[in-house]
Amino acid sequence: MKFTFNITTAEMLRTFLQRQRFSKRTISAIKHNGALIVNGESVTVRAQLKHGDVLEVLLADETPSTNLLPYKQPLTILYEDPYLIAVSKSANQNCAPSRDHLHYSVAEQVLGYFQAHETTSVPHIITRLDRNTSGIVIIAKHGFIHHLMSQTQIDKQYLCVCRGEVARSDLIDAPIARHPDSIIQRCVDENGKKAQTRFERLDVTQINRHTYSLCAVTLLTGRTHQIRVHFQHIGHPLVGDDLYGGAHDEYAHQLLRCRQVTFNHPINNQKIIINDKYDAIESIFNML
């Protein structure tokens, strides 16, 4: 991956790279497996830049973790450019390998895609979803891009189906902490971290004397299991979420989908809006 800069001020190359948000780790990697080129000549980070110079930064090649096995299955690609790729994840798939699910993750699927297209990119998951949550996952094609995205605000919108008839709209403001009796489960706790979830009811239906609501949800913070915990907290657990009180005979996973993400691109600062047009959650709601 290469970046080109037209220099307008005199300063040391290392200082310039730091101002461009190159991390110490990235700069160190460039020294060993990359290149810094000024006006066609290879230089070190100690080089003195001057007005009119043309700087080329060739990032170090990365090697995938040996824990990743390429999973060559078709991807539903929602967005792609030289730096990022966004895909639609189905329920019952991990974003990355875990102790209980070593393979067939989104990361391995994207790695298979990269290798099939003969690129040296390595997937770095930016926006993780729970195994049983579906929707948009954003992946960086290099660790440096992942570093830049970690400093970028990403707004996420979800669609969910919950039990009962919720208010037309509301803000759930309730801190979340680890559950004292579980390493996985979270709970609302006054000593937890600040957590805010805004939702709007889109529709409501009643089937076999059971009422369900379809909601659009916006995360104002990003705590683990936040939407699931908050909807349980207000007495309307997500349908299919057996961890948080929403077990359902037909659905073995929570009916929750990330359907839109918005952010400013870390390279060109362009506003990017990615939509997942395939809303399985809405289809399920209409069939309840």
CA 181 → CA 131, 160, 185, 208, distances in Å? 21, 27, 8, 35
pTM above 0.85, yes or no: yes
Q: What is the pLDDT of residue 278?
A: 64
| Same domain for 116 and 30 | no
Q: Which ranges constitute the DSSP H helices of the chain? A: 13-19, 24-33, 106-116, 143-149, 226-233, 280-287
Looking at the domain assignment, is residue 265 inside a domain? no
CA-closest candidate to residue 225, choices 169, 172, 282, 184: 184
Q: Residue 280 above 80 pLDDT? A: no
Lowest mean pLDDT: which of 65-74, 104-113, 180-189, 278-287? 278-287
Kindly name the residue from 81, 100, 130, 279 that is annotated as catalytic.
Answer: 130
Q: What pLDDT, in 10s, does the model give residues 217-234?
A: 999 999 999 999 999 999
Assess if residue 101 is contained within a domain: yes
pLDDT(281) > 80: no
Question: Quick check: is 94 in a domain?
Answer: yes
Closest CA to 62 of 24, 95, 96, 33: 33
53 an active-site residue? Answer: no
Q: Pick the residue with more confidence: 258 or 67?
A: 258
Report pLDDT for 40. Answer: 94
Give the tens place of pLDDT for each residue, 91-109: 999 998 888 888 999 999 9
263 within domain boundaries: no
Number of domains within the chain: 3
Is 72 found in the same domain as 51?
no
Examine residue 79 and state whether it is found in any structural domain, yes or no. Answer: yes
Residue 272 in domain:
no
Residue 38 phi/psi, 5-degree rounding, is -115, 120
110: CATH: 3.30.2350.10
What domain range is 201 assigned to? 155-258
% of residues, the chain, pLDDT over 90: 80
Same domain? For 240 and 163 the reply is yes
Radius of gyration of the chain from its Cα atoms, rounded to whole angstroms: 22
* 111/23 Cα distance (integer angstroms): 24
Residue 279 has pLDDT above 70, yes or no: no
pLDDT confidence tier of residue 46, bands split at 50, 70 and 90: very high
- Distance CA(197)–CA(249), nearest Å, equals 27
Same domain, 160 and 253: yes
Average pLDDT over residues 8-30: 93
Residues 118 and 159 in one domain: no
121 or 286, which is more confident: 121
Domain termination residue (choose one: 106, 135, 151): 151
Q: Which of 136, 151, 166 is the last residue of a domain?
A: 151
**Does a structural domain hold residue 267?**
no
Residue 196 confidence class, pLDDT cut points 50, 70, 90: very high
Q: Is residue 280 part of a domain?
A: no
Contacts of 71 (CB under 8 A, 6+ apart): 103, 104, 105, 108, 109, 111, 112
Domain final residue, candidates 151, 181, 201: 151
Same-domain check for residues 121 and 163? no
Over 80: is that where the pLDDT of 287 sits? no
pLDDT at position 288 is 61
